[in-house]
Amino acid sequence: MTGFDWPALMRAGIRGLGLRPREFWALTPAELRLMLGDAAPAPLRRARLDELLAAYPDQAKGRDDGRD
């Protein structure tokens, strides 16, 4: 079985950190990991950066002046 151990994470966040349920559920997994003292997120590698650049280019294709 894979995935999150939600009961353990909720205990850590709500009991351990004193978060309110609304605060707990508003956190991203990375924020919760940081608050629990887990290591910093993995660095962004070149392959992932290339994927993001392809998915979210700075300019729309076919335009070079940046105007609509």
Cα separation, 17 vs 32, in Å, equals 10
Give the amino acid at 43: P
The better pLDDT of the pair 61, 13 is held by: 13
pTM of the model: 0.51
Asked, for residue 66, whether it belongs to a domain, the answer is: no
Range of the domain at 38: 6-55
Reported confidence tier of residue 64, pLDDT bands at 50, 70, 90 = low
- Residue 39 in any domain: the answer is yes
Domain count, the chain: 1
In a domain, 62, yes or no: no
| Residues 6 or more apart in contact with residue 16 via CB below 8 angstroms | 36
Q: Is residue 64 part of a domain?
A: no
Sequence-distant (6+) residues with CB within 8 A of 9 are: 32
- 19 falls within a domain: yes
Q: Is residue 60 part of a domain?
A: no
Residue 1 has pLDDT above 50, yes or no: no
- 63 occurs within a structural domain: no
DSSP 8-state assignment for residue 12: I
Across the chain, how many H-helices and E-strands are there? 4, 0
Task: For residue range 35-60, list pLDDT tens digits in order.
Answer: 888 766 677 889 989 998 999 898 76
